[in-house]
Amino acid sequence: MIDVIIAVLSMLALGPFAPSLDFPSERAIGPAGAASAQFASNTLDNMVLAPAGARDASSLSASSTPSADAAPASTRIDLPVYTRVGPETKLDRYMNLAAKRLDSRMQGALSHIPDDGRRLLALKYYTRRPGNINGRWAMSAGQIAKHVGSKQHQRAVATVEAIKLRFATQNPGYRLAVNTDVRSLEKQIEIWNTFGSTEQAGQSILTKTERALANDTAWPAEPGPQDVARFAKMIASTPTSRTPTAAAPGFSLHGTGRAFDFIIWKGDEIVAGAVAETVGTVWDKAGWTKKLKDAITEVSPNFVGPLRAPYEPWHYDYRPG
């Protein structure tokens, strides 16, 4: 019976869907850091990322070495580019040189993160992802458009609708809201720049890094290749005070069309939302984690979850059979 419902909904998926809300995984939004006095922003709408080495040297992530796994020339990030005002600091020098070792798409994302803490935190996760990132990086606008029109996406959306129907039947008076849109790289960067958890985790790694770099004997002011390699290794292994509840920009599964957040409503009120602080009380203790899992499991084996690290009972990954 469920297969019949999904088949019908798949046909309906060919038509337009009503727009749905985007549910970031934190309720409290921290400062974006865009007003930091040490940065100036160049607001370039539809800015095309130049190949590594072609960008201005004052960019936070400027590179003189093109990456073998370079981004397509049509890649666009419609967000301000932040450029440091004043002389380069020792931390800047190490971060900029470490960034040059990365894929140009990561370098581009770093240039849109204004404050040192969050940028260092993103660098931490980027340095832990060596090799080719094709297939793991966020879709471009063109790829998103193609994906939304694909049968795979239509079936995923239809399955989500079947899950919503099953959940509402099992829990009278309650309903699920799910954003089935692909989360763009711009949105991922915006989330990274505003969430309180990335600010806290970023400040934690920034404090430890500045303390380490204060040792001029261990960390020379003019670092060589080996020093930069040591710095990248140190950043990758430095623990933070808390785990951010947002993936490093570009690496959220929401950006590949394979992740969905299920939010529980009663009337016009959110009962269980994508809020990390409510995981233990609202989700687990109140039973919504199990109720959501039951509805999803009964409808389709293609949704795997919930996400375990960081633990998000509302987050499920779609893996087409």
At 69, the pLDDT band (50, 70, 90 cuts) reads: very low
In whole angstroms, how far apart are CA 169 and each of 122, 179, 209, 247? 42, 20, 52, 33
Cβ atoms of 236 and 128 closer than 8 Å: yes
C-alpha span between 120 and 117 (Å, rounded): 5
Q: Which of 16, 10, 32 is nearest to 190 (CA)?
A: 32
Average the pLDDT over 70-91 and give the result. Answer: 70
Encode 180-212: b = buried (16+ Cβ within 10 Å), e = exposed.
bbbbbbbbbbbbbbbbbbbbbbbbbbbebbeee
**209 plus 259 within the same structural domain:** no
The answer, yes or no, to whether residue 258 has pLDDT greater than 60, is yes
The answer, yes or no, to whether residue 158 has pLDDT greater than 50, is yes
Average the pLDDT over 110-124 and give the result. Answer: 96
**59 plus 169 within the same structural domain:** no
**8 plus 57 within the same structural domain:** no
Report pLDDT for 31: 41
Report pLDDT for 275: 87
Q: Is residue 115 part of a domain?
A: yes
Q: What is the mean pLDDT of the chain?
A: 81
Q: Is residue 55 part of a domain?
A: yes
**97 plus 61 within the same structural domain:** yes
Domain of 258: which CATH number? Answer: 3.30.1380
Percentage of the chain lying above the pLDDT 90 cut: 64
**130 plus 269 within the same structural domain:** no
The region that residue 191 occupies, defined by phi over 0 for left and psi between -120 and 50 for alpha, beta otherwise, is alpha
pLDDT digits (tens, 9 = 90+) for 34-59: 334 344 444 333 333 333 333 333 33
Average the pLDDT over 132-153 and give the result. Answer: 91
Token pair 């934690």 in the structure block, residue: 204
- Boundary of a domain, candidates 237, 266, 300: 237
**206 plus 305 within the same structural domain:** no
Determine phi and psi for 289, rounding to 5 degrees: -60, -50
Q: Which of 140, 138, 139, 102 is nearest to 123 (CA)?
A: 102
- What's the whole-model pTM score? 0.76
**10 plus 93 within the same structural domain:** no
Q: Is residue 294 part of a domain?
A: yes
C-alpha span between 278 and 156 (Å, rounded): 27
Cis peptide before 114 (omega within 30 of 0): no
**208 plus 71 within the same structural domain:** yes
Cβ atoms of 10 and 158 closer than 8 Å: yes
**274 plus 300 within the same structural domain:** yes
Report pLDDT for 61: 34
Report pLDDT for 26: 59
pLDDT digits (tens, 9 = 90+) for 225-243: 999 999 999 999 999 998 8
Q: Is residue 146 part of a domain?
A: no
Report pLDDT for 75: 55
**155 plus 293 within the same structural domain:** yes
**9 plus 158 within the same structural domain:** yes
Q: Which of 189, 165, 192 is nearest to 76 (CA)?
A: 189
Average the pLDDT over 267-274 and give the result. Answer: 94
Q: Is residue 224 part of a domain?
A: yes
Q: Is residue 226 part of a domain?
A: yes
DSSP, res 178 = E
Higher per-residue pLDDT: 118 or 15: 118
Q: Is residue 142 part of a domain?
A: no
Q: Is residue 247 part of a domain?
A: no
In the chain, the number of structural domains is 2
**164 plus 218 within the same structural domain:** no
The answer, yes or no, to whether residue 175 has pLDDT greater than 70, is yes
Domain that holds residue 265: 2-27+151-185+252-318
- Boundary of a domain, candidates 169, 204, 237: 237
Higher per-residue pLDDT: 228 or 15: 228
- Boundary of a domain, candidates 176, 210, 237: 237
Least confident of 2-6, 126-130, 180-184: 2-6
C-alpha span between 110 and 61 (Å, rounded): 6
